[in-house]
Structure 1
Amino acid sequence: MELAFSTNAYTNHTLPDAVRRIADHGYAGVELLGDVPHAYFPEFDADDVAALGDALAETGIAVSNVNANTASGYYSDAPPSAFFEPSVINPEADRRTWRVEYTKRAIDLAASTGAPSVCLSSGRPLPGTMPDEAYDHLVSSLHAILDYAEPRGVQVGIEFEPELLVECTDEVLTLIDDVGRDNLGVNLDVGHAAVYGEDLRESIEKSAGHITGVHLEDIAGGIRGKHYHLVPGEGDLDFDVVFDSLDSIGYDGFVTLELYTYPDRPDWAAKTAFEALERYF
């Protein structure tokens, strides 16, 4: 396993600056935020790609994942919170298509930077859309995305989250089975499993063989705590259990800290988190 840090903590910095700062803290990998203000794909042009490439080459840091969970740049007045719309389950076909194409651009960025995966959330069923209908949209959208990702050697990891259409380990594993494609897996956010009330060892062990990447943060209150990402050591999760379980299933990919809740203190969050977890690596 290798430790990475997501640029979504550095939303007050440019993407190249975020990459350099994360590398300076000793991380082996960096996750790229596929949204404003970093890589919002309708506006992320060749100059941006070149500047990112320069930062990656200069630091030698690897890209752990492209995080395409949100697309808040779609809105001119989006509030400062995670936005999943337009999602791949939106009832309007043109909006689903927009999100599928957006995810394809994330796959392009992953392929060009050597990232093994792109993560994607299911989104929430909107009022008037029954969950069964939303699920059909999800499966159809995923096939289009996976058709594009497969020849480019990029895996797609669904990140489950409480209150979304796919919100726990069993649901994401059912989806993987229903879709039946080798390059679809789970981007396992350990904190999300905890908030849902899952046993972390059981969640990790059930996901064995399907994990495209791991997101990590601490949660106050532990199992069934509130969904607010904290620096490891500030909450109540048992990281001995987390890393022992990942070791037991032979997971050898990236573990990425996702601490978007610290936009005003990203360097402190990156440094403190690294010091709290470096013994596991």
Structure 2
Amino acid sequence: MADLAFSTNAYTNHSLSEAVDRIADHGYAGVELLGDAPHAYFPEFGDEDRRALTAALDATDLAVSNVNANTAMGYYDDAPPSAFFEPSLITADDDRRSWRVEYTKRAIDLADAVGSPAVCVATGRPLPGNPPERAREHLEASLDEILDYAEPRGVEVGIEFEPELLIECTDEVLELIETVDRDALGVNLDLGHAAVYGEDLAETIERTAGRVTGVHLEDIVGGRRGKHYHRIPGEGDLDFASIFDALDDAGYDGFVTMELYTYPDEPDRAARESMEQLNRYV
């Protein structure tokens, strides 16, 4: 049976240590760490920051479910529109792509330091001048370097697919995993993303069984082909009873992490009400 965690990316108006404390207060067993500003933007996340985080984790007895390195918004002084994933692992510019590979290695270092089983990373979008077939080559080369770093440290790397990214659905992430063929590569399974893409969630869970490094969960209005806006369970249309039944049937016993970055002004309500709703199923 899965345990519940909550991502600090809902608490971007709070420090990382305070976010950990508040998540613990709501009864979660785990916490996902945002590997980006304002929490752990790695070029600026130093020894003192790490000590403060470790102290908060020790004091709350929370496990770390995942280090979320999907975005690197701290890269920008004034982020342009739709910059969420740039620089990415598929960026055409060699220097910027190398920057992102090194950034992901620092996420692995943090995961290793705090006992997180995995980091997750998104692929980014194939932007103008970088057609998908070339972007795919960049992705595979980037992942080889990242996995060479992750495997000796016992950290898994989960690709988080998302509609409109290079890897946007279950078919594509499973094909990538088969092509790269590395034991430490899996999928960080965001079930809201699968729902928006139009997938049957029980089938998605069954197909990815054994390759899931972590699960992200949120409610979505409209379910399949719904709008990609993360909501508190009960405020959308997903069937959480069937989701947790499918996770049990698949033998998944890792963390299910609520990812509700859409509630920065009321993260405690999001954490509290999510726990109240999901306690029915775990």
TM-score tier (shorter): over 0.9
Cα offset, 1:126, TM superposition: 1.1
Deviation by residue 1:8-33 (Cα, 9 ceiling, x = unmatched): 00000000000000000000000000
Q: How does 1:1-281 map to 2 (within 5 A)?
A: 1-78=2-79, 83-281=84-282
Structure 1 residue runs of 5 or longer lacking an equivalent are: none
SS of alignment partner, residue 163 of structure 2: coil
Cα offset, 1:248, TM superposition: 0.4
Structure 2 residue runs of 5 or longer lacking an equivalent are: none
Deviation by residue 1:240-281 (Cα, 9 ceiling, x = unmatched): 111111000100000000000000000000000000001222
Output the CA distance in 1 between the equivalents of 2:84 and 2:63.
27
Output the CA distance in 1 between the equivalents of 2:31 and 2:82.
22
Quote the sequence identity (%): 72
Change in Cα spacing, 1:139 to 1:168, as seen in structure 2 (3 Å) is same
SS of alignment partner, residue 4 of structure 2: strand
What root-mean-square deviation, in Å, do the aligned CA atoms of Structure 1 and Structure 2 show?
Answer: 0.9
Q: 4+ residue stretches of structure 1 with deviation over 3 A? A: 79-82
Cα offset, 1:79, TM superposition: 5.8
SS of alignment partner, residue 279 of structure 2: helix
Number of residues paired by the alignment?
A: 281
Q: TM-score, normalised by structure 1?
A: 0.99
Cα offset, 1:5, TM superposition: 0.1
SS of alignment partner, residue 269 of structure 2: helix
The answer to whether the 8 Å contact 2:112/2:153 transfers is: yes
Output the CA distance in 2 between the equivalents of 1:196 and 1:159.
13
The answer to whether the 8 Å contact 2:240/2:281 transfers is: no
Deviation by residue 1:214-241 (Cα, 9 ceiling, x = unmatched): 0000000111100000000000001111
Output the CA distance in 2 between the equivalents of 1:222 and 1:90.
31
